[in-house]
Amino acid sequence: MSKTYRGFSREQIAKTLDHSVLKPNATMDEALAGAQLAKTEQVASYCIRPMDVAFASLELTNSGVPVCTVIGFPHGTTTTETKVFETQQAIIHGAREIDMVMNISALMSGDLDYVERDIVSVVSAVRESRLDIPVKVIFETALLSEEQIITSCRLAEQAGADFVKTSTGFAAAGATLEHVALMKACIGDRLKVKASGGIRNLDQVVDFMLAGASRCGTSAAGEILKQFDQKSE
């Protein structure tokens, strides 16, 4: 019988993790090490900076681990046309998951039509590739009220996204259980939730899974799975 921790197997934990190397000062050696870890641990995806997509895709060829990248990162305020171009280039270079940052300024300014069009444009660019590529919309929940989070969920769903995601990991705060639960309540089983930002240990991952997250973005996948090996029974 395989070992479990709080009711989850090692594979279930690993397949929840989007292992990430996104810091602007991360070296190419660190990005390569991240790809090797993602391959060894068979995580859900390897989330990398746009500049690293081509080499990461080559490194992960036939590994079963898709390359994920970020669009409009980390502020979401690049133009829609820029986000579309980034998306198209990322797919050409091998990205098979897209995490885009919502235009937070437009949301806070009340221009909900712009926010939705911005997401629709990225989703459309992905669908035009005719590849099975999920789109995750990053809200930066630390900057939003509960009402704004609810509105963001509605807009992401209307725009055709596949996931709603809490955070970039570069704001003052990251994911919270309350925000994940709120997002899950808003979208039900129609979309999925990704928790991200400040997730560093195994118990956090399990807590977020129980709150409704299907994915957890983290730069600490190796440590989290090491904790599983130490704590599982």
Which of 39, 136, 165, 192 does the annotation list as catalytic? 165
Which of 99, 118, 162, 207 does the annotation list as catalytic? 99
Residue 136 CA neighbour count, 13 Å, CB half:
28
Please state, in angstroms and rounded to a whole number, the distance separating the CA atoms of residues 96 and 214.
17
Q: Is residue 21 classed as helix, strand or coil in its secondary structure? A: strand
- Give the amino acid at 191: L
Buried b (16+ CB within 10 A) or exposed e, 10-37: beebbebbbbbbbeeebeeeebeebbeb
Number of residues that make up the chain: 233
| 194 part of the active site | yes
| 99 part of the active site | yes
Sequence-separated (6 or more) residues with CB below 8 Å from residue 12: none
Which of 136, 184, 192, 194 does the annotation list as catalytic? 194
Distances (CA, A) of 210 to 7, 36, 108: 10, 29, 30
Position of tokens 């681990």?
Answer: 65
Q: Are 206 and 5 in contact (CB under 8 A)?
A: yes
Radius of gyration of the chain measured on its C-alpha atoms? 17
Backbone angles phi, psi at 142, to 5 degrees: -60, -20
Q: Is residue 5 classed as helix, strand or coil in its secondary structure? A: strand
- Give the amino acid at 177: L
Q: What is the set of active-site residues?
A: 99, 165, 194
